[in-house]
């Protein structure tokens, strides 16, 4: 694990943050910021794309950013220098390289849960710190699910029994060949319903979602996170997994505070923002079109191609609506105390999914909303998932 640190030494002042850097070998990387005339850079922060931002107490100032691998005996090497003409100045010092189809989520501290009085099951709002990670930009598509299952079948890691894809322990992972099914199975091959390749995959159970994460890890030569016997997750592995509930919400909020939806310019929603079912029940639902999204209502199910709607600040699509997304956590009331990288209760009856869907009204499509009463065996028409991997695995 490589960590980036910014620290204050000598004329170099201010220090700030830690984040994990992509690296071939475990390492530490320290950065320092100096400004001339010598003043104190304040509130330095690192954003998701490796940008260092600080405030100057006067302008203009000359700045230099240096780095070293060791505070004990390492030589400070210049990274960049320039002139900051503004009181707040940003310089990109690292360049995390997301895997294909993924985006870097910087990690940080945020308020998790409902602060707007919308959801009784998303309280108490509490302070949470999340470590950096990569997440898929899109919900997992039907084509991706069919490909992963085909690979799993070829390698004897899954089986097809009747209308179900099953794990080798006999657990139902996915529902096939039913009304509105998205994937069909015939003569040893999985087929995607015509025209639906780029739509999000529903009908996957929580068991199926984590099994598909393991299959994706195997294909890419990564460590599998899940035991498919105990269904436990080893968060120390470098493979694909479901986000924790905290990771999902942190990614959905995208550094915005106390917003209802993944966008920050307004706290209301319309069909131009997301695929959901509009109604007059919520004052913050101001869509001029009511009911299912008019562009997709004729589809069964009425989902939309992933990425149809604008991204949030982290570049993520459909965090709000389209299909709900399974997360790791067992369902439980939130704790009230500050917690770092929470993974939820160690056991339970229901797994959580988040974000609402094309079939849910606006109160289910918020950053804070939780669905907390579905068992891990449930295969539902409007519930899919997206995968994450830890930053350190890159
Ligand atoms: Ca979604």
Q: Is 90 exceeded by the pLDDT of residue 391? A: no
pTM above 0.85, yes or no: no
For helices 142-154 and 206-219, the axis angle rounded to 10 degrees is 70
Mean pLDDT of all residues in the chain? 88
Report how far residue 366's alpha carbon sits from residue 230's, in angstroms, rounded to the nearest whole number.
32
Report yes or no: 51 and 91 within 8 Å, Cβ to Cβ.
yes
Measured in Å, residue 139 CA sits from the centre of ligand 1 at: 6
Report how far residue 306's alpha carbon sits from residue 55's, in angstroms, rounded to the nearest whole number.
38
Measured in Å, residue 275 CA sits from the centre of ligand 1 at: 9
Rg, C-alpha atoms of the chain: 23
Report how far residue 316's alpha carbon sits from residue 134's, in angstroms, rounded to the nearest whole number.
11
- Per-residue pLDDT band for 82 (boundaries 50, 70, 90) equals confident
The residue length of the chain stands at 394
Q: Is 70 exceeded by the pLDDT of residue 14? A: no
Q: Is 70 exceeded by the pLDDT of residue 42? A: no
With H, G, I as helix, E, B as strand and everything else as coil, classify residue 355.
coil
Domain annotation for the chain: domains and CATH numbers: 3-97 (no CATH), 111-394 (3.90.1580.10)
**Cβ contacts of residue 340 below 8 Å, gap of 6+?**
128, 129, 130, 131
Measured in Å, residue 357 CA sits from the centre of ligand 1 at: 6
The pLDDT tens digits for 187-245 are 999 999 899 999 999 999 999 999 999 999 999 999 999 999 999 999 999 999 999 99
Predicted local distance difference test score (pLDDT) of residue 281:
94
Predicted local distance difference test score (pLDDT) of residue 16:
36
Measured in Å, residue 349 CA sits from the centre of ligand 1 at: 23
With H, G, I as helix, E, B as strand and everything else as coil, classify residue 143.
helix
Q: Is 90 exceeded by the pLDDT of residue 18? A: no
Measured in Å, residue 324 CA sits from the centre of ligand 1 at: 5
Measured in Å, residue 286 CA sits from the centre of ligand 1 at: 20
The pLDDT tens digits for 52-61 are 888 888 888 8
Measured in Å, residue 94 CA sits from the centre of ligand 1 at: 30
Helices assigned H by DSSP within the chain: 142-154, 206-219, 245-253
Measured in Å, residue 244 CA sits from the centre of ligand 1 at: 15
Q: Is 50 exceeded by the pLDDT of residue 26? A: no
Report how far residue 357's alpha carbon sits from residue 320's, in angstroms, rounded to the nearest whole number.
7
- Other CB atoms within a 10 A radius of the CB of residue 288 amount to 9
- Residue in this structure with the two tokens 């998932």, named with its chain if needed: 385
Angle at CA 246, nearest 5°, toward 346 and 315? 145
Measured in Å, residue 370 CA sits from the centre of ligand 1 at: 12
Predicted local distance difference test score (pLDDT) of residue 2:
47
Report yes or no: 134 and 389 within 8 Å, Cβ to Cβ.
yes
Measured in Å, residue 326 CA sits from the centre of ligand 1 at: 9
The DSSP secondary structure of 74-95, one letter per residue, reads: PPPEEEEEEEE-SSEEEEE---
- Per-residue pLDDT band for 33 (boundaries 50, 70, 90) equals confident
The pLDDT tens digits for 321-365 are 999 999 999 999 999 999 999 999 999 999 999 999 999 999 999
Burial class (CB within 10 angstroms; exposed 0-12, middle 13-18, buried 19+) of 351: buried
Q: Is 60 exceeded by the pLDDT of residue 3? A: no
Predicted local distance difference test score (pLDDT) of residue 246:
98
The pLDDT tens digits for 122-174 are 999 999 999 989 999 999 999 999 999 999 999 999 999 999 999 999 999 99
**At residue 217, what are phi and psi to the nearest 5 degrees?**
-65, -45
**Cβ contacts of residue 100 below 8 Å, gap of 6+?**
none
Measured in Å, residue 73 CA sits from the centre of ligand 1 at: 48
Position with higher pLDDT, 391 vs 149 = 149
The torsion defined by the Cα of 66, 70, 71 and 73, in degrees rounded to 10, comes to -110
Measured in Å, residue 15 CA sits from the centre of ligand 1 at: 37
**At residue 383, what are phi and psi to the nearest 5 degrees?**
-125, 120
Helix (H) or strand (E) holding 324: strand 324-330
Measured in Å, residue 284 CA sits from the centre of ligand 1 at: 19
Helices assigned H by DSSP within 231-326: 245-253
Measured in Å, residue 325 CA sits from the centre of ligand 1 at: 6
Measured in Å, residue 93 CA sits from the centre of ligand 1 at: 32
């Amino acid at each position: 694990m490589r960590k980036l640190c910014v620290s204050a030494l000598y004329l170099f002042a201010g220090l700030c943050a830690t984040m994990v850097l992509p690296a071939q070998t475990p390492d530490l990387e320290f950065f320092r910021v100096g400004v001339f005339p010598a003043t104190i850079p304040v509130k330095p922060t690192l954003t998701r794309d490796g940008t260092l931002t600080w405030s100057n107490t006067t302008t203009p100032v000359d700045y230099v950013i240096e780095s070293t691998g060791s505070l004990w005996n390492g030589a400070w090497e210049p990274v960049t220098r320039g002139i900051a003409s503004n009181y707040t100045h940003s310089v990109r010092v690292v360049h995390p390289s997301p895997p294909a189809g993924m985006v870097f989520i910087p990690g940080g501290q945020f308020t998790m849960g409902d602060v707007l009085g919308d959801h009784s099951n998303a309280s108490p709002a509490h302070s949470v710190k999340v470590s950096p990670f990569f997440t898929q930009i899109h919900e997992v598509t039907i084509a991706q699910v069919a490909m992963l299952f085909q690979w799993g079948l070829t390698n004897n890691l899954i089986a097809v029994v009747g209308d179900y894809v099953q794990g080798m322990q006999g657990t139902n992972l996915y529902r096939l060949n039913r009304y509105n099914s998205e994937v069909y199975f015939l003569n040893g091959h999985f087929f995607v319903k015509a025209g639906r390749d780029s739509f999000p995959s529903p009908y996957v159970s929580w068991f199926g979602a984590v099994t598909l994460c393991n299959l994706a890890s195997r294909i890419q030569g990564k460590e599998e996170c899940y035991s498919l016997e105990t269904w436990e997750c080893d968060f120390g592995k470098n493979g694909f997994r479901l986000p924790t509930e905290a990771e999902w919400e942190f990614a959905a909020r995208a550094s915005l505070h106390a917003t209802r939806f993944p966008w920050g310019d307004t706290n209301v929603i319309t069909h131009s923002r997301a695929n959901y079912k509009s109604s007059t029940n919520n004052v913050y639902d101001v869509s001029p079109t009511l009911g299912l999204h008019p562009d997709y209502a004729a589809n069964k199910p009425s989902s939309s191609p992933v990425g149809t709607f604008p991204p949030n600040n982290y570049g993520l699509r459909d965090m709000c609506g389209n299909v709900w997304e399974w997360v790791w956590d067992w369902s439980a009331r939130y704790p009230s105390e500050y917690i770092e990288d929470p993974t939820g209760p160690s056991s339970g009856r229901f797994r959580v999914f988040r974000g609402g869907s094309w079939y849910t009204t606006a109160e289910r499509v918020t950053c804070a909303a939780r669905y907390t009463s579905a068992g891990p065996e449930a295969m539902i028409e409007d519930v899919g998932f997206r995968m994450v991997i830890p930053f350190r695995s890159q």
